[in-house]
Amino acid sequence: MPIPMSRPAQARRLLGGAALVLFGLALGGFQQQARAEDEATFLKESAAFFDQQSKTSLPLQVDQATRLEKVNLDTGSKVLHYHYGLNNMKADGLDAAALDKFRGEQRARLERGTCQQPALLERIRQHGIRISHDYDGSDGKPLASIEIDPQTLQCKG
């Protein structure tokens, strides 16, 4: 029987693993793959799961600068949103070069983490779900949004 992850290990995995741990828990609870006619039910149940997880397990300090605040699945657009707060960067006054660097580094890390979980990636692809990592600066203003589209993500084998 696997040993449950500690909160610090969970936090590192949430950020480094493209925040797919919670998503994996939701999908792992369903024994059967959702058929087309079950898609609405699957999405509704997944959205309820993420709402509950956000209420009971979050916020979660991911690292010194990053806190996972909320996870929610928008069933209409089929986008799984991870909302983060950063304590070391303000949205106001951040120059374009620094913002581009942040986005590039985060995208690379998030894509690597997503690719490291092929079974979850396949389930996400089957349901046409996209992933958005939304970051707010320390001033509470939106800083960056990084979308991962599993349908077009190229993982190295």
Model confidence at 66: pLDDT above 90: yes
Cα 104 from Cα 146, distance rounded (Å): 9
Secondary structure of residue 67 in the 3-state scheme: strand
Give yes or no for a contact between 60 and 8, defined as CB atoms under 8 angstroms apart. Answer: no
Q: Residue 135's closest CA among 77, 67, 79, 76?
A: 67
Give yes or no for a contact between 105 and 157, defined as CB atoms under 8 angstroms apart. Answer: no
DSSP secondary structure letter of residue 35? P
| Percentage of the residues of the chain whose pLDDT score is greater than 70 | 76
Domains and CATH numbers, the chain: 7-148 (3.30.300.250)
- pLDDT for residue 75: 93
At residue 69 the predicted structure's pLDDT band, cuts being 50, 70 and 90, is very high
